[in-house]
Every structure is written in C-alpha cells, then in structure tokens.
Amino acid sequence: MDYESIVKIVSESLSEKRFKHSEGVADTAVKLARQYGWDENEARLAGILHDITKELGPDEQKALMEKYSITLDEDEKDAPKLWHAITAPPYISERFGVSEDVARSVRYHTTGRAGMSLPEKIIYLADYVEPMRDFDGVEKLRKLTFSDIDEAMKLALRMSAEEVRRNGKKVHHNTLEAIEFMK
Ligand SMILES: [Fe+2]
Ligand SMILES: [Fe+2]
C-alpha cells in the first residue's frame, strides 16, 4: 500500500488532534533519520503509524490482543495507556506489511527498553518532541534530541518515569531497565 493511502487510513482512525500529532512525529522522525542514519521512508511510516490503535476502546484492544495472542505482563494489565504500543505492531505488520524496524520502534515508543536500536530511539524521541508538544523542558529535550540522541534518551526516559510517578502510577519495568542500560 502506498504512503498516501496509509495516511488516509490513519486520519480516519484518529481524532484530528492525534492525527496532527502523528504527522508531527512522522516529520520529526524523518529529520532524525536524516541526521542519525535511518531510512527516511521507514521513519515516516513508523511515525505516522505509531498511535494508530490508540483510540480503540478497551474491548477493541482486547480483541486485538486475543487475535494476535498477546499476553500482558503485570505492569501492563492495569495500564491501558500502554496497550496501543503492544497491539499496533502485529496490526500494522499484518495490514501494511511494515518492516521489523518499523514494528519494533512502534512497540517501544511508550516505555523504551534496554538496548534500544536507533529506529526505536528515533520514534521514542520524535513522539516526545514533535512540534505540537508543549511541556516544561520540551525545548531543552528538543535541542538535545538533535545534538546527542543518547543524552536525549537518558533525559526523556527520566522525565517519562517522573511523570508516571507524579500520576501515582507504577513505572513499567522496560523503562526502568532502559534507564539502567543508558547509564
Ligand atoms: Fe503512543
Ligand atoms: Fe504519540
């Protein structure tokens, strides 16, 4: 399927705001791919698709988990916000035939993981600093993302863990392991 047809499907699957966010992630991912050395088309595709299952309800998410034989771990069962990163990879692999790099960068865009690949770092950070993002410290993180991707990952993972804790939630073990790994 060509990119324009995929964009159309994404726009029909998401609210206008989240679709714009996804376009921002795709554009940012392309810039990062050029800078750090990943295929631009792959980066664009991963960016536009990363949240494609995010607006499905819990029952639809569960139906996808059933379909793709996904089992959630203890940190994921009560964290529906993480589910879209788990259901999207098999869904986009089946529907659009995306590469392993695209699927894996979508898989780890919410939690990170120990030993992230360059594509995984690019989508994680593009999601964090795309132009519509506005939060305390976004400018600093944005700059760092374009100057030192590993330092940016360290900062982003710490900020993400802090935010989860602030919201009274448990930090996913993948995030904790990613922070340890990057030290
Ligand atoms: Fe997401
Ligand atoms: Fe996102």
pLDDT at 49: 98
Cα–Cα distance for residue pair 31/75, rounded to 1 Å: 33
Cα–Cα distance for residue pair 13/20, rounded to 1 Å: 12
User: Which H helix or E strand runs over 174?
Assistant: helix 173-182
Nearest to 21 by CA among 126, 110, 115, 113: 126
The secondary structure of residue 81, as a DSSP letter, is: G
Q: Relative to the alpha carbon of 25, which ligand is closest? A: 2
Cα–Cα distance for residue pair 73/50, rounded to 1 Å: 21
Q: How far away, in angstroms, is 50 Cα from ligand 2 center?
A: 6
Strand, coil or helix: 67? helix
User: Which H helix or E strand runs over 5?
Assistant: helix 3-13
Count of the separate structural domains present in the chain: 1
Structure tokens at 78: 């009560």
Mention every residue, 6+ apart, whose C-beta is less than 8 A from residue 35.
Answer: 146
152: phi then psi, degrees, rounded to nearest 5: -65, -40
Q: How far away, in angstroms, is 18 Cα from ligand 1 center?
A: 10
Q: How confident is the model at residue 73 (pLDDT cuts 50, 70, 90)?
A: very high
User: In this structure, which residues have their CB less than 5 angstroms from ion ligand 1?
Assistant: 51
CATH code of the domain covering residue 99: 1.10.3210.10
Structure tokens at 167: 């919201």
Predicted confidence (pLDDT) per residue in 8-19, tens digit: 999 999 999 999
Q: Relative to the alpha carbon of 22, which ligand is closest? A: 2
The boundaries of the domain holding residue 165 are: 3-182
Predicted confidence (pLDDT) per residue in 108-155, tens digit: 999 999 999 999 999 999 999 999 999 999 999 999 999 999 999 999
Q: How far away, in angstroms, is 50 Cα from ligand 1 center?
A: 6
Q: Relative to the alpha carbon of 109, which ligand is closest? A: 1
